[in-house]
Amino acid sequence: MFDITNNSDAGLITTKTHGESSSNMHSGNVHSTVRLDSLGRKINFDFDILTFNANSDAIYKSNTNGSTDIQIPNGFASADNILDRKITNYAAQIDVEHPIKKFNLNYGVKLSFTHTDNNIQVHDLSSGTAVKDTNQTNKFLYDENVQAFYVSGSTQLGKWGIQLGLRAENTQFTGNSVTMDSLFKKSYFEIFPTAFFIYTPNAANIFYAEYSRRINRPGFSHLNPFRSYSSPYYYFAGNPELRPMFIDNLTIGYVYNYQLQVAFDYSRDKDNFGGGVVILGEDGYTQVGTRLNYIDGYSIGGRIAHVFNKLSWWMSQNTVSAYYQHSESKIYPLTPKYSDGYGVSFYTNNIFYFNQKQTLSAGFDFSITPAKHSNLSYHYTEKNLNAFVKALFFDKKFSVTLTANNLLREYSFNWRGESNGILLYSKARYNPRFLRLSASYSFGSRKVNVAQHKVSNEEERGRLN
């Protein structure tokens, strides 16, 4: 702590947090395909069910000492944050493939129903005895229903390939704080067009352009208003009224001989909630981390990718990309009005084969993102190295793989910045270092072609954590 009235040291706040969490997911899918004729017309039916349970328990202990390193009265604080979260999703989809001469038509409907049950308990441990904090304990229920209809068509006109599509979505969601007797309901309707054009003048050259409008819904944990305290002066709380962000993306690219690709991207996003925002609480000194739809912005980028496969014993894929990003805050002056930044990255993936049958191989992938700058923050250089050794047996049906992850044990979130005149430093590692030994066996004949399909609740799965 720093006393700005006389520019002197006012003390030190030390906080230690220990947390444990566990989760499990169960899912089931029923899929059926009805072939209508020999022309390729068919109807695909999918029904999916998903259950997800997560439990977390985090205890923080905080000591506040004066400038003489003596604990001030009531300077010790401790609390236990317990969260039990259960998510259930039911989804169904009917997809029709309807080729008409030289025109491929595809259309369908999708329904999704999600129920989230959050039980939140907070116990004050400052006195040495657990005392339930009734002001923070809460039961929050969240329901989200989505109805979607989509249609797309593609055709080939000489050297031109064209694909156009449109998806319409209607969404209703309800939040219910049972303990606080607070209920809200909202809904929205949106359409999402897509367009893809490809021009192939010859076998070695391909030019393409594509446009899409997408939706990015917040994770279910971001909607939970549970206050997760890491100290008496900071907590993070989700926002149950957080809306999705919408992204318009345009890409223009060129491919040479299926080995070299050059692409340029332009993306504009609206109602972006980013990684969150920190604001001051009602008391004027407690920092509150949350998520708001407070950013509109755009980004411009490019990438070059190359595949090297001239040698039978070595294959290498390499990508270099760069971007510039600009965003504007809609809650200024709570946050800076503008943010500008740029960055570059390099990625390489390599596989080496040690015999002609390619039954013994090893490889690695390496990525590096040099320091990224913006007018609000500085992100330190990020590096990641993974490696593997793989052996195939019994006519390549049985495989044994040893994988080493994050060999450099790098921090994946290492930055410094400034907020409300306060310098902030952060180090975090979301990509742990580990060794994994796995084995698999493929049964049956390789001549049988098993069609792959996407489950109807794929989006909801990506929002669980």
**pLDDT tens by residue, 389-403:** 999 999 999 999 999
**Bridge partners, residue 278, by sequence:** 289
pLDDT recorded at residue 207: 98
pLDDT of residue 27: 92
Mean pLDDT, all residues of the chain: 87
Asked, for residue 248, whether it belongs to a domain, the answer is yes
The whole domain housing 43 covers 9-461
Q: Three-class SS string for 20-54?
A: EEEEEEEEEEEEEEEECCCCCCEEEEEEEEEEEEE
Q: Minimum mean pLDDT among 26-35, 47-56, 80-89, 282-291: which range?
A: 282-291
Task: With a cut of 80, say whether residue 3 has pLDDT above it.
Answer: no
Percent of the chain beyond pLDDT 70? 87
Confidence of residue 230 (pLDDT cuts 50, 70, 90): confident
The arithmetic mean of pLDDT across residues 5-34, rounded, is 81
From 125, 157, 74, select the one nearest 229 (Cα to Cα).
125
392 located within any domain: yes
List beta partners, residue 114: 89, 144
CA–CA separation, 189 and 446 (whole Å): 45
Strands (E), 125-181: 131-132, 138-157, 160-177
> What's the CATH code of the domain at 257?
2.40.170.20
The three-class DSSP label of residue 56 is strand
pLDDT at 413: 62
DSSP for residue 243: P
Structural domain count of the chain:
1
Report pLDDT for 349.
97
Single-letter residue type at 375: N
How many C-beta atoms surround the C-beta of residue 165 within 10 A? 17
The pLDDT value given to residue 171: 96
β-pair partners for 402: 389, 437
pLDDT at 12 over 90: no
pLDDT at 377: 66
Beta bridge mates, 168: 149, 191
Output the six-digit token pair for 134. Answer: 């009734």
Lowest mean per-residue pLDDT among 46-60, 141-155, 173-187? 173-187
What pLDDT score does 374 carry? 65
H-state helical runs in 73-207:
none
Q: Please choose, from the candidates 419, 413, 341, the residue with its C-alpha nearest in 3D space to the C-alpha of residue 381.
A: 413
Which one, of 239, 218, 219, 215, lies nearest residue 227 by Cα?
239
Taking a C-beta distance cutoff of 8 angstroms, is the pair 148, 115 a contact? Answer: no
The fraction of the chain above a pLDDT of 90, given in percent, is 52
Q: What is the mean predicted confidence (pLDDT) over 22-30?
A: 92
Which residue has tokens 């997809």?
Answer: 95
Please write the tens of the pLDDT for every residue from 73-129: 667 888 898 889 999 999 999 999 999 988 999 999 999 999 999 998 889 888 888
pLDDT surpasses 80 at 453: no
- The residues, ordered by sequence, that sit 6+ positions from 20 with a Cβ below 8 Å of its Cβ are 56, 57, 58
Is there a domain that residue 250 lies in?
A: yes
Say if 4 falls within a structural domain: no
Q: What's the pLDDT score for residue 448? A: 56
Instruction: Decide: helix, strand or coil at residue 444.
Output: coil
In the numeric block, the tokens 């493929």 are attached to 442
Strand partners, 64: 13
pLDDT in tens, 344-376: 999 999 999 999 999 999 999 999 988 776 655
CA torsion 294→296→301→307, rounded to 10°?
A: 60
- Structure confidence by residue, pLDDT tens digits, 130-155: 888 887 788 899 999 999 999 999 99
Q: What is the mean pLDDT of residues 258-266?
A: 97
Q: Specify if 1 maps to a domain.
A: no
Residue 2 within any structural domain of the chain: no
- DSSP helix/strand/coil, 376: coil
